[in-house]
Structure 1
Amino acid sequence: MTTPTQFPLPPHFNLNKIGEVYRVPYQQRASEAEAWTKQHNILPASTDKTRICLLLIDVQNTFCIPDFELYVGGKTGTGAVDDNQRLCAFIYRHLGIITKIIPTLDTHTAMQIFHPIFWINANGEHPTPAATNITPTDIEQGIWQVNPAVANSVTGDYELLKKQAFHYVKQLSQDGKYPLTVWPYHSMLGGIGHALVSAVEEAIFFHSISRKTQAQFELKGENPLTENYSILRPEVLIGFDDKPIGQKNKNLIQQLLNYDAVIIGGQAKSHCVAWTIDDLLTEIQQVDSTLTKKIYLLEDCTSPVVVPGVVDYTEQANATFAKFAAAGMHIIKSTEWVIGNW
């Protein structure tokens, strides 16, 4: 196995700004990237004989910047910031061999099934976000019910919406998925939380200019009737009436299967990262199980959801990654990544 050619970190890269929100000076960075390309003889991505994709899951302010809505602090409390320091360095050091970067963007509006406004109790109160899971029993016993006031914005029919919501919660339980969690309003479309972390966006832009290749932004989570942890499919595909709620991202699935290597990092290890990889594993096993060997998981560029005193998904995340490794995927650190005999 051979170690990839690693480039130095460019002068503009500042580890101390990873946890900040700032404006990327695009024109300046573009000029610097052009000069960097000449200095280090970096070829266009179109010339790559080995095509490598870097899939970045939800590296957005809402998950990665302290004091934002769903900051993924992990066990240390600084998880996502530390992860992104390593992730940015990984992009810059492997600038010449990453063919395509695909960032996903969790994308939400107010009236969605996992937001507080969607549910009320007998007193008309909304559930406490991040501390409330809703089960079929909760709905049957009247502990939580769909808020009639949101029906007009979602389906236009309250009775239909109630049936759909109950079916959804029951389906999650039957499929062995996490119960419906009521999350704080987050990744709101048009808001600053929806944006990529500034330092990561800057690295992606620098890569695009240096390699003459467009980053491919993939949105997920817009559907008001289902969660969408995975970029490859929503949590539930079919509604109570056997009609589709959502659909798989078939184009992206096929695209990922066609790369020589797919490297994955982002947030959170226990949720959107785990669900995406799990769905990718399912697709691989339906085609050719040996394809798992070309999947590389950047374990030091992802952290689990940990809310001190409330919930800790560390063990579940580690168990899930162990399953991926057993299936043939490579669990690696950003400083250790190597290319096989290509």
Structure 2
Amino acid sequence: MTIQKNTQLPVPPHFNPDKVGEVWRVPYQERAAEAEAWAQRHNIKPASSDKTRICLLLIDVQNTFCIPDFELFVGGKSGTGAVEDNQRLCEFIYRNLGVITTIVPTLDTHTATQIFHPIFWVNATGEHPIPAATSITPADIEQGIWQVNPAVADSITNGDYELLKKHAYHYVKQLSQDGKYPLTVWPYHSMLGGIGHALVSSVEEAIFFHCIARQSQTQFEIKGENPLTENYSILRPEVLVDFAQRPLANKNIRLIQQLLEFNAVIIGGQAKSHCVAWTIDDLLTEIKQIDASLAQKVYLLEDCTSPVVVPGVVDYTEQADAAYARFAEAGMHIIKSSYQLSVIS
């Protein structure tokens, strides 16, 4: 971004940082009227007139990850990470309302019978793995410590249990060969149709306010529906082919191409160690195949994301920080939410 013009705006009076950790209904019609008046008052032009086009890519800013006591709250080192991240994120959106062209929120989207949920696996006594505390390796399957639950084959492979076992073993083995995290059995989360699936209310409100003030449609991106692969990244699933080298899932080529057409892409969300890092890594992979200098158009909101930390169980802080150091080395910009977006007018 070329620094030419101070573009920061005040934060609208309706924003209450103390409510960011709560779930509530956004009063759409009231906010829409306020957004139009706000745009007129501050001379905010429609996004269609932007000469410098900026995308804000928000990874999984959903209740399931961001509200305390929800399924996979990302507390980070502080224990309140995602709430603090989203307070800063909302203020960032409001202050830079006039220059953010498009907001792209991703939505992690799951049903119960997926390979990373407890019901998919059983041990010799029929018990399911303990979520968040269990990783499944190829050796675990080979030794019979964990096996695919026969009952879920009816839902996923039309009752073909042997086929489902082949899929599962190949998947776990492929993760190991590709240097990915082992298959983690997660608590049921981001359940389609549930409250956890929804965007955090304060962030949803800020995004909606942007949509009306800039007359720029919010672009929602869904990921994670395939029962046979994790989908940390919005740009591609963890595994692309099955045991017979047939397509299992596809890259999000449309979004990849779209992101690379923006003048700048700003990325925040949850969790820094998983869905955010994997998305950035996949974007960097695509960039290197085209033109490594394109990494310079990517800005990472480091204080609007936290790593997965479960005290006494797992702590991915070091992995997250190492990933961000690698992204910076590749030419991406590590910034704070206080960073002033300034563009050519």
Length-normalised TM-score, structure 2: 0.98
Deviation of 1:105 (Å): 0.1
The reply on whether 1:268 has 2:306 as its aligned counterpart is no
1:162 corresponds, among 158, 161, 165, to 165
The reply on whether 1:11 has 2:13 as its aligned counterpart is yes
Q: What's 1:284 paired with?
A: 287
The reply on whether 1:184 has 2:187 as its aligned counterpart is yes
The reply on whether 1:74 has 2:76 as its aligned counterpart is yes
2:91 corresponds, among 77, 89, 92, to 89
Letter in 2 for 1:117: I
1:311 corresponds, among 296, 299, 314, to 314
Q: What's 1:111 paired with?
A: 113
TM alignment of 1:129-140, pairs within 5 A: 129-140=131-142
2:149 corresponds, among 131, 139, 147, to 147
Deviation of 1:339 (Å): 4.0
Distance in 1 between residues matched to 2:343 and 2:329, nearest whole Å: 19
Relative to 1, partners in 2 of residues 1:178 and 1:337: Cα closer, same or farther, differing over 3 Å?
farther
C-alpha contact (below 8 Å) 2:64/2:73 kept by paired residues: yes
Deviation of 1:106 (Å): 0.1
Secondary structure (helix, strand or coil) at the match of 1:243 reads coil
C-alpha contact (below 8 Å) 2:76/2:306 kept by paired residues: yes
C-alpha contact (below 8 Å) 1:3/1:337 kept by paired residues: no
Letter in 2 for 1:163: K
Relative to 1, partners in 2 of residues 1:11 and 1:341: Cα closer, same or farther, differing over 3 Å?
closer
C-alpha contact (below 8 Å) 2:44/2:214 kept by paired residues: yes
C-alpha contact (below 8 Å) 2:46/2:215 kept by paired residues: yes
Q: What's 1:326 paired with?
A: 329
Distance in 2 between residues matched to 1:200 and 1:34, nearest whole Å: 18
Deviation of 1:2 (Å): 4.2
Relative to 1, partners in 2 of residues 1:341 and 1:329: Cα closer, same or farther, differing over 3 Å?
farther
Q: What's 2:210 paired with?
A: 207
Letter in 1 for 2:181: Y
C-alpha contact (below 8 Å) 1:73/1:306 kept by paired residues: yes
List gaps (5 residues or longer) in structure 1. none
Deviation of 1:242 (Å): 1.2
C-alpha contact (below 8 Å) 2:99/2:341 kept by paired residues: no
Letter in 2 for 1:72: V
C-alpha contact (below 8 Å) 2:7/2:341 kept by paired residues: no
C-alpha contact (below 8 Å) 2:5/2:344 kept by paired residues: no
Q: What's 1:257 paired with?
A: 260
Distance in 2 between residues matched to 1:21 and 1:211, nearest whole Å: 25
Distance in 2 between residues matched to 1:234 and 1:72, nearest whole Å: 21
Deviation of 1:110 (Å): 0.4
Secondary structure (helix, strand or coil) at the match of 1:104 reads strand
Distance in 2 between residues matched to 1:142 and 1:337, nearest whole Å: 55
Deviation of 1:338 (Å): 3.9
Secondary structure (helix, strand or coil) at the match of 1:297 reads strand
Distance in 2 between residues matched to 1:91 and 1:315, nearest whole Å: 28
Distance in 1 between residues matched to 2:195 and 2:307, nearest whole Å: 22
Q: What's 1:216 paired with?
A: 219
Distance in 2 between residues matched to 1:28 and 1:180, nearest whole Å: 45
Secondary structure (helix, strand or coil) at the match of 2:272 reads coil
Secondary structure (helix, strand or coil) at the match of 1:75 reads coil
Deviations 1:216-264 (A, max 9, x none): 0000000000000000000000000111110000000000000000000
List gaps (5 residues or longer) in structure 2. none
C-alpha contact (below 8 Å) 1:325/1:331 kept by paired residues: yes
C-alpha contact (below 8 Å) 2:62/2:107 kept by paired residues: yes
Distance in 1 between residues matched to 2:39 and 2:341, nearest whole Å: 22
Deviations 1:259-312 (A, max 9, x none): 000000000000000000000000000000000000000000000000000010
C-alpha contact (below 8 Å) 2:52/2:343 kept by paired residues: no
Q: What's 2:46 paired with?
A: 44
Deviation of 1:337 (Å): 3.8
Secondary structure (helix, strand or coil) at the match of 1:81 reads helix
Secondary structure (helix, strand or coil) at the match of 2:266 reads strand
Distance in 1 between residues matched to 2:41 and 2:212, nearest whole Å: 14
